[in-house]
A and B are shown apart, each in its own frame.
Chain A
Amino acid sequence: MKFYKYLTLIALLIFVNACTKLNVPPLNVIQDDDVFNSKGGITIYMARLYSELPIEDFRYSPARGLNNFWIISPFPAVTGEALSRDQRNSVTESVLYWGDAYKLIRETNYFLQTLPKHTGDFTKTDIDSWLGEAHFIRAFTYFSLAKRYGGVPIVSNVLQYPTTDLNSLDVPRASEEKTYDFIAADLDTAFSKMAETNQTGRANKYAAAALKSRAMLFAGSIAKYNQVSFFDDNHNRLCGIPSDKAVTYFKAAYDAARLLDGKYSLYKKTFAAGDKEAQYHNYVNLFFDAQSPENILIKGYSYPQSVHGYDAYNIPLQFMGPNGYSSEVSPTLNFVELFDGLPKNPDGTIKNLDAGGKYLYFDNTMDIFANAEPRLRATVILPGDVFKGQNMEIRRGIYTGSIAGGISPFIPAGSTIQYPTTNIVQSANGSQTAYTLPNGSKMNPAGASGTFFSEETCSLTGFSIRKYLDESLDKSQVKENFETQSWIEIRYAEVLLNRAEAAYELFNAGTPGTDYLQDAYTAINQVRERAGADLLAGTGSLNDITIIRNERRKELGFENKIWWDLKRWRIIDKEQNNVLYRVLMPFYVAQNGKYIFDVRKDEKNRFYTFDPKWYYEQIPNDEITKSKSLKQNPGY
């Protein structure tokens, strides 16, 4: 009996416990259905796409690439906006953006192909808006590639791998023109599909229009100014766009910028006409007001998940935080001289000498900037200005010699030699020995924020960066991987400048239809008025593209945009051709208690030469060797 019991049991065990098919999706891998069937899932997918979006923000530097917190080789020190102790010459990017771009492109392609299969619970508006957003992200990524490499392989669907047809994975580069046309088409789709508003940090349809104005202006500039021509074997022009296409692209940029009319405006919440102090505070606040009507696309941060250290690296020495970094970005005098309201010589340089060639005296270092344009004060901390409730103390040394007959310049004009040591006391670094002034009081030779002749943790130029520095941060909070102020990737001022530049180029080309000169003039004056700068007197004063370009340098300075502008205008190789940037060094005069300013070339011989082949960057060599069809850019 027992035997049969066991036999039955065994039989049951063997025959009844049959197989269930194991064709079930793995439970530890999230499936498309989980992601694409809920709003939460879509938001998560988008969060990943945005986190990979190649925004050159507080975590970007050409030396270390995107999403790297350590920005001690700051981007502005490549363009002539600033000098830095850790970025001492012209460079092109050393971390090449390529593989990550195609990863992100694949993710957007996957999204575009997969979302329409899961239309269950969503409204058509929602679906369209998300698809549009994916088109925006893909266009943003392609533009990041195009501005670096020219024409790139266009992959607009999900490539299947593994596959037997390996050649289908080896996509050759498209022409530069086709690449920009692809970007334009994506942004047109994005504009038509997306909603008017979106979550903060995500794009809406106007972000797509704004990006289109940026990208098309870039393409138009290439068509007009680029000299390099490079073809593949199939007659695709990988570098360069035919010059007759310039007007088409400028027109596209102009039209795209016009789409934002009445939707966004310049930030003027605390602006008051004629009140420079109010205009200054207004300009500072524009970078911190989350409700700013100027913000088109921002990138947010939050502690501790996603943080940066902008303040820690760039804070002037006297406000240094616990990490010990300071003053990585010191704006050059060349940059400061672009602004209005400074005493200037006829050639546009700052006036520091009297008619007899002797130094002019000032009661304090801010006097020379008494009438400076408010935007300058909001962009750059001037020597002697108030920051965080303290006077920004920048002084190169104390002049102890005789003042009879005035003081002659310490070194010949244009010289790069060191300052003489007779009659000038200076400090090598922050541990200073105070000098006893004739009235018996003591004074350190250099200011608390510099400038020292050896140590470079201070202001190197007489100025320090102000834009984006968070004045409300306590000293103890000024540290790496701690800060969370938002990065404004696209703001309305840029759109106005895009519009002005495109309009002026169209006017120059004699394009009929609109009074483009008038339009450019109005846009420039809108930007200038908010900045507190001198307005253009009339359309007649707008007689040179340099006026519009300089407005761009001033308005968008230190926002990681200028290098690309200098490149698309194809002028950076002339501007950075064995050049030393200029600095403004305040000295205290012991005999009369006044200040003098010396203008000189950079003391540390940081000279800049831009290699013209960098207009088109090098495609990573491992990509070239992997592919049978990918062509390297000229010169690499």
Chain B
Amino acid sequence: MTRSPKAKASNRIPVTNVKSRKMKSLLYIPIIALVLTSCSKLDNYPSPNATLTGKVIDAGLKATVQTEIGSGGTRIKLEEISWSDNPTPFYFYSMQDGTFNNTKLFTSTNKISVEGAFVPLVQYDATGTITVDNRKTVQLSNTPADVEFQVEPFLRVTWIGDPVPNTDSTITVRVQFTRGTSNPNFQNDISDLFLYLNTTPYTGNNDYDNRYSKQLTYSGSDGNNFLGQTITLTTAGKLPAKRSYWLRVGARTTYGLKQYNYTDIKKVVIP
């Protein structure tokens, strides 16, 4: 920045009050000039324009693996290997139906994997050696990349019929859960089954109304006895009428971060 001659003038010592006021007003000129001056240079890098879409699919059922939104659900891990073989990973989260879409990624080469309530794509033995590595190396560019991960969920939770509203302002649902993997290393005990109820379509362990939701907990291996059985769950409390509710059932095992596997979401209107 160069100073204007007027700014130099303002450096003179003021002699009288009148003069000093004038000087002060002169002082504003460079300040205003400074404020109004702005950089017009554009960023020297292009904005992120690479797109990554995809889904996490149950290898057995060929349907997407339902999850919750936010940090308790499935997330996508990008390791950018274009410039480092030991990058700090970048994560973003899946939508609750198991699909994902990010349109603001940079052009780069990435190892992509997903993490969630399913058999991990990268597995280690007891000494920390990678034994299974199902990461995908994907080139991201302005041509959208679409990746599909075939995974084995820990549990498959499925509706048996539709939720039934009862006359006592409750809703009864019937579900069953089965193992989604035959790998014994990932067949941990089932710890709980949770009927989530919420007043928005975004329901799951991340957001539910605990006054009406219902949880069944199993101690030890007790829950395993219910594999494949039809389980009936009824909401707690009395639901206010003339509203819509969104329900889903989650179940989980004691593996790792103990994330839930879910059914899809069903809407029930209480007249």
Contact between A634 and B129 (Cβ–Cβ < 8 Å)? no
Alpha-carbon separation in the docked complex, A233 to B72 (Å): 25
User: Do A237 and B191 touch (CB < 8 A)?
Assistant: no
CB closest chain-A residue, reference B191:
A574
B255 near A227 with CB under 8 A, answer yes
A174 CB, min distance to chain B CBs, angstroms: 13
Mask of B106-144 contacts with A, CB within 8 angstroms, 1/0 = 000000000000000000101111000000000000000
A574 to B252, CA, bound (A): 12
**Which of B84, B88, B211, B257 sits near A228, CB closer than 8 Å?**
B257
Fill in one digit per residue for A609-632: 1 if any B CB lies within 8 Å of its CB, else 0. 101110000000000110011001
Question: Would you give the 0/1 interface string for B209-241, flagging 1 where the beta carbon is closer than 8 Å to chain A?
Answer: 011010101000000000000000000010000
B72 touches A611 (CB 8 A): yes
Alpha-carbon distance between A231 and B130 when the two chains are bound, in angstroms: 9
> A573-B258, A634-B257 known; A229 and B124 CB under 8 Å?
yes
**Does A2 lie at the interface of the complex (its beta carbon under 8 Å from any beta carbon of B)?**
no
Q: Is A168 an interface residue (CB 8 A)?
A: no
What residue of chain A has the Cβ atom nearest to residue B126's Cβ?
A242
**B71 CB-CB contact with A under 8 Å:** yes
Q: Is B184 engaged at the interface, CB distance under 8 Å to the other chain?
A: no
Cβ B210 vs Cβ A625 within 8 A: no
B72-93 interface mask toward A, CB cutoff 8 Å, 1 = contact, 0 = none?
Answer: 1000000000001010110000
Q: Cβ of B211 and Cβ of A416 under 8 Å apart?
A: yes
Bound-complex Cα distance A237 to B124 (A): 10
Q: Chain B residue with minimal CB distance to A626?
A: B88
- Indicate if the CB atoms of A577 and B71 lie closer than 8 Å: no
Cβ-defined partner of B210 (8 Å) among A236, A242, A607: A607
A578 interface residue (CB < 8 Å to B): yes
Interface residues of A in 589-621 (CB under 8 A from B): 605, 607, 609, 611-613
Whether a CB of chain A sits under 8 angstroms from the CB of B271 is no
The reply to whether B257 and A635 contact each other, CB–CB distance below 8 Å, is yes
A232 in the interface, Cβ–Cβ < 8 Å? yes
Q: In the assembly, what is the distance between CA of A236 and CA of B210, in Å? A: 41
Measured between alpha carbons, how far is A607 from B205 in the docked complex, in Å? 13
Q: Is A124 interfacial (CB 8 A cutoff)?
A: no
* A578 and B124 within 8 A (CB): no
Q: Are A612 and B258 in contact (CB under 8 A)?
A: yes
Q: Among A232, A242, A624, which residue has its beta carbon within 8 angstroms of that of B88?
A: A624
Answer whether residue B256 sits at the interface, using C-beta atoms and an 8 A cutoff: yes
| B215 in contact with A236 (CB, 8 Å) | no
| B254 adjacent to A577 (CB under 8 Å) | no
* Interchain CB contact under 8 A, A232 and B215: no
Question: A632 to chain B: which residues have CB within 8 Å?
Answer: 88-89
- A605 CA / B258 CA spacing, docked (Å): 24
Q: How far is the CA of A605 from the CA of B210 in the complex (A)?
A: 9
A612 adjacent to B257 (CB under 8 Å): yes
Is A578 a contact partner of B215 (Cβ separation < 8 A)? yes
Interface class of chain A by DSSP: loop
> Given that A231-B124, A232-B128, A578-B210 are known contacts, is A629 also in contact with B258, CB under 8 Å in the complex?
no
B177-223 with Cβ < 8 A to chain A: 191-192, 194, 205, 210-211, 213, 215, 217
Residue contact B192 to A228, C-beta cutoff 8 Å: no
Set of chain A residues within 8 Å of B127, measured between Cβ atoms: 235
Taken together as a complex, chains A and B put the C-alpha atoms of A75 and B98 apart, in Å, by 37
Given contacts A235-B129, A612-B258, A635-B257, contact A605 B217 (CB under 8 A): no
Chain B residues in 8 Å Cβ range of A609: 205
Q: Is the pair A577, B257 in contact by a Cβ cutoff of 8 Å?
A: no
- Chain B residues with Cβ below 8 Å from A635 are 71, 257
In the docked arrangement, what's the CA distance between A231 and B217, Å? Answer: 31
B88 contacts A625, C-beta separation under 8 Å: yes
Query: In the complex, how many residues of chain A place their beta carbon closer than 8 angstroms to a beta carbon of chain B?
Result: 30
Known: A228-B257, A605-B210, A612-B257. A237 touches B88 (CB 8 A): no
- Residue in B closest to A614 when the chains form the complex, CB atoms: B257
Contact indicator B128/A235 (Cβ below 8 Å): yes
CA distance A274 to B227 in the complex (A): 54
Considering the chains assembled together, what is the distance between the CA atoms of A578 and B207 in angstroms? Answer: 12
When the two chains form their complex, are residues A634 and B256 in contact, meaning their CB atoms are under 8 A apart? yes
With the chains together, A232 CA to B129 CA distance in Å?
A: 9
In the complex the two chains form, what is the Cα distance from A611 to B205 in whole Å? 10
Chain B interface residue count, CB cutoff 8 Å, equals 26
**Complex contacts, B126 vs chain A, CB 8 Å:** 242
**Bound state CA distance, A229 and B258, in angstroms?**
13
In the complex, which residues of chain B have a beta carbon less than 8 angstroms from the beta carbon of A237? 128
- Residues of A close to B194: CB separation below 8 A: 578
A233 to B81, CA, bound (A): 15
| Complex-state Cα separation, A607 to B211, whole angstroms | 10
**Minimum CB distance partner of A232 in chain B:** B128
Please name all residues of chain A whose beta carbon is closer than 8 Å to the beta carbon of B215 when the two chains form the complex.
577-578
CA distance A460 to B255 in the complex (A): 36
Q: Identify which of residues 2-41 in chain B touch chain A, using a CB-to-CB cut-off of 8 Å.
A: none
Q: How far is the CB of A96 from chain B (nearest CB, A)?
A: 16
- Per the bound structure, the CA–CA distance linking A228 and B115 in Å amounts to 14
Tell me which of A233, A416, A578 contacts B86 (CB under 8 A). A233
Q: Which residues 45-67 of B sit at the A interface, judged by CB distance below 8 A?
A: none
* Min CB–CB distance B120 → chain A (angstroms): 10
> CA separation between A228 and B205, bound complex, in Å?
21
What is the bound-complex CA distance between A636 and B88, given in angstroms? 12
CB-based nearest A residue for B215: A578
Which residues of B sit under 8 angstroms from A605, Cβ to Cβ? 210-211
Roughly how many angstroms separate A127 CA and B217 CA in the complex, as a whole number?
Answer: 57
> Which of B86, B88, B129, B254 meets A227, CB within 8 Å?
B254
Nearest CB of B to A636, in Å: 8
Establish whether residues A613 and B257, one from each chain, have CB atoms under 8 Å apart when the complex forms.
yes
Kindly name the residue among B191, B194, B256 whose own CB sees the greatest number of chain A CB atoms within 10 A: B256
List A contacts of B71 (CB < 8 A): 613, 635-636
Q: A235-B128, A634-B257, A635-B71 are in contact. Are A577 and B88 (CB under 8 A)?
A: no
> Nearest Cβ distance between residue B88 and chain A, in whole angstroms?
6
* B-side contacts of A242, CB under 8 Å: 126
Q: A233-B86, A577-B217 known; A227 and B72 CB under 8 Å? A: no
Expressed in whole angstroms, the Cα–Cα distance for A232 and B217 within the complex equals 34
Q: B86–A628 contact, CB under 8 A? A: yes
Are A236 and B256 within 8 A (Cβ)? no
B88 and A231 contacting across the interface, CB-CB below 8 Å: no
Residues in chain B near residue A232, CB distance under 8 A: 128
Contact A231 B210 (CB under 8 A): no
Q: How far, in angstroms, from A625 to B90 measured CA to CA in the complex? A: 11
Closest to B254 in A: A227
Interface set, chain B 253-267, CB cutoff 8 A to A:
254-258
Contacts of B257 in A (CB 8 A): 228, 612-613, 634-635
A556 to chain B, nearest CB (A): 26
Instruction: Give the residue name and chain of the B residue nearest to A175 (CB).
Output: B128
B88 / chain A contacts, CB cutoff of 8 Å = 624-625, 632
A229 contacts which chain B residues (CB < 8 A)?
124
Known contacts A242-B126, A624-B88, then 4 further A-B pairs from the complex at CB < 8 Å, ordered by chain A residue = A237-B128, A574-B191, A612-B256, A635-B257
Give 20 pairs: A residue, B residue, CB < 8 Å, sorted on A.
A227-B256, A228-B257, A231-B128, A232-B128, A233-B86, A234-B128, A235-B127, A235-B129, A236-B128, A242-B126, A577-B192, A577-B217, A605-B210, A612-B256, A612-B257, A612-B258, A624-B88, A625-B88, A628-B84, A635-B71
| Interface residue ranges, A against B (CB under 8 Å) | 227-229, 231-237, 242, 416, 573-574, 577-578, 605, 607, 609, 611-613, 624-625, 628-629, 632, 634-636
Q: 3 tightest CB-CB pairs across the interface, nearest first? A: A235-B128, A231-B128, A612-B258
